[in-house]
Amino acid sequence: MDVLKNLPVTDNHIHVDDKNGYGAEKVAKIFYNAGGKVMIILNKPTFDGDLTKSMDILVRDVEIINKNTPVKAFGLVGVHPAELTHLMKFMSLEEAKEKIINALNYAKKLVESNDFIVGIGEVGRPHYPVDEDVWNASNEILKYCMELAKDLGCAIQIHAESSTEEQFKEFSEMAKEVGLNPEKVVKHHCGDMVLEGEKYKIFPSILASRVDEGVVKKSLRFVMETDYIDDLKRPGVVLGIKTVPRVTRKLIEKEVLNEEGVYRTHKENIEKIYDIELKL
């Protein structure tokens, strides 16, 4: 019997794309057949100037998965930070910032009106070098996202440069400034920053391929992700659909994770972050 059969297995950051990839339903079925149970899905950047269309598509995709597959799907909506520099090819920084703020206000309405849309994300700042004015504007937008999350009482997933202790401290302080509990701040594409996460109350979302005995021994206060892109021209980017179940299965077989540890990382942590109840 598969060791994952009756265990919760959650991918905390995944994209689906009906136009360029397998699409929502097929991705979910592949994930489920590999041993996955729960998907946290985020809208992709579009780089076409329409910042809300992909949010509407995400709401539809989450509904499709929940209706047509055994997977439990939840969504986060937001504006990817790379959209700012793209928009600046066609408008001023202030105009681009205003356009993004308006789109984030739309995201807020989606969280308010849909039980399966449980947070704001991925939002943040560019992971590549930008001018100081763009960096400052990105931080202002990020702080606004935290204000939205505080008002909504929901989680926020941050896309940013590579994680450091100083960054965790900065995000924690930024959240506290607007009254958002840092426990609701998830750093996506995170290294093994589990102890730093505990110190500053930020939640690390770690690429599944980087979760090993060393991470597990430090702390179980993390969640796993693939950042799967769902683009048939770029198969398996960033990690493949099956990676979280596969890594979890290996950790169990090596006795690095036991059943209690699986429940902690894949269910209890997810429930705590997103204020949801996973009935699997």
> What local confidence, expressed as pLDDT, does residue 279 receive?
87
> What local confidence, expressed as pLDDT, does residue 1 receive?
61
Segments in the chain below pLDDT 70: 1
> What local confidence, expressed as pLDDT, does residue 149 receive?
98
> What local confidence, expressed as pLDDT, does residue 191 receive?
87
Domains of the chain: residue spans and CATH: 10-274 (3.20.20.140)
> What local confidence, expressed as pLDDT, does residue 18 receive?
96
Q: What is the DSSP string of 96-123?
A: HHHHHHHHHHHHHHHHHH-TTEEEEEEE
